[in-house]
């Protein structure tokens, strides 16, 4: 559904210095027409005549079966990667008083 977040484990970007891949997060953004936007079958048929015919179906020779987590939380992206950009520590405020860090010699 539009607005959902899906997570596919092990199908994301490769992790630093390793053969392991991270998780792939997909944000679903689909706009559907409102219910009842075509009032009758004649409107549907007229629209179908205006559009180009659909392409022939694609027949895949090999299909990778993937499992995904529905309702994943995008805020958790990268939390197990070890990447400091995803750790909460880097977001903390500095505790200094705004004074220069180097002492004069």
Which residues are CB-neighbours of 90 under 8 A, at least 6 positions away? 84
For residue 100, the model assigns a pLDDT of 63
**Domains of the chain: which residue ranges?**
1-52
pLDDT tens digits in sequence order for the chain, 105 residues long: 778 888 888 888 887 777 888 888 888 898 888 888 888 888 889 989 999 998 999 887 887 787 877 877 777 776 666 666 665 554 445 555 666 666 666
For residue 10, the model assigns a pLDDT of 86
Q: Are 78 and 85 in contact (CB under 8 A)?
A: yes
Q: What is the chain written as a DSSP string?
A: -TT-EEEETT-SSBPTTSS-B--EEEE-----PPTT-S-SHHHHHHHHHHSPPPPPPP--S-------EET--GGGTTTTS--GGGSSGGGSPP-S-S--SSPP-
């Amino acid at each position: 559904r539009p607005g959902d977040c899906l997570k596919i484990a092990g199908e994301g970007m490769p992790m630093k210095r390793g053969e392991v891949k991270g998780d792939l997060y997909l944000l679903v953004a689909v706009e559907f027409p409102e219910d009842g936007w075509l009032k009758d079958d004649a409107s549907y048929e007229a629209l179908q005549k205006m559009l180009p015919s659909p392409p022939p179906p694609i027949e895949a020779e090999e299909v990778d079966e993937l499992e995904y987590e529905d309702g994943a939380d995008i805020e958790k992206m990268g939390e197990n990667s070890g990447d400091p950009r995803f750790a909460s520590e880097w977001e903390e405020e500095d505790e200094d008083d705004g004074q220069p860090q180097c002492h004069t010699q």
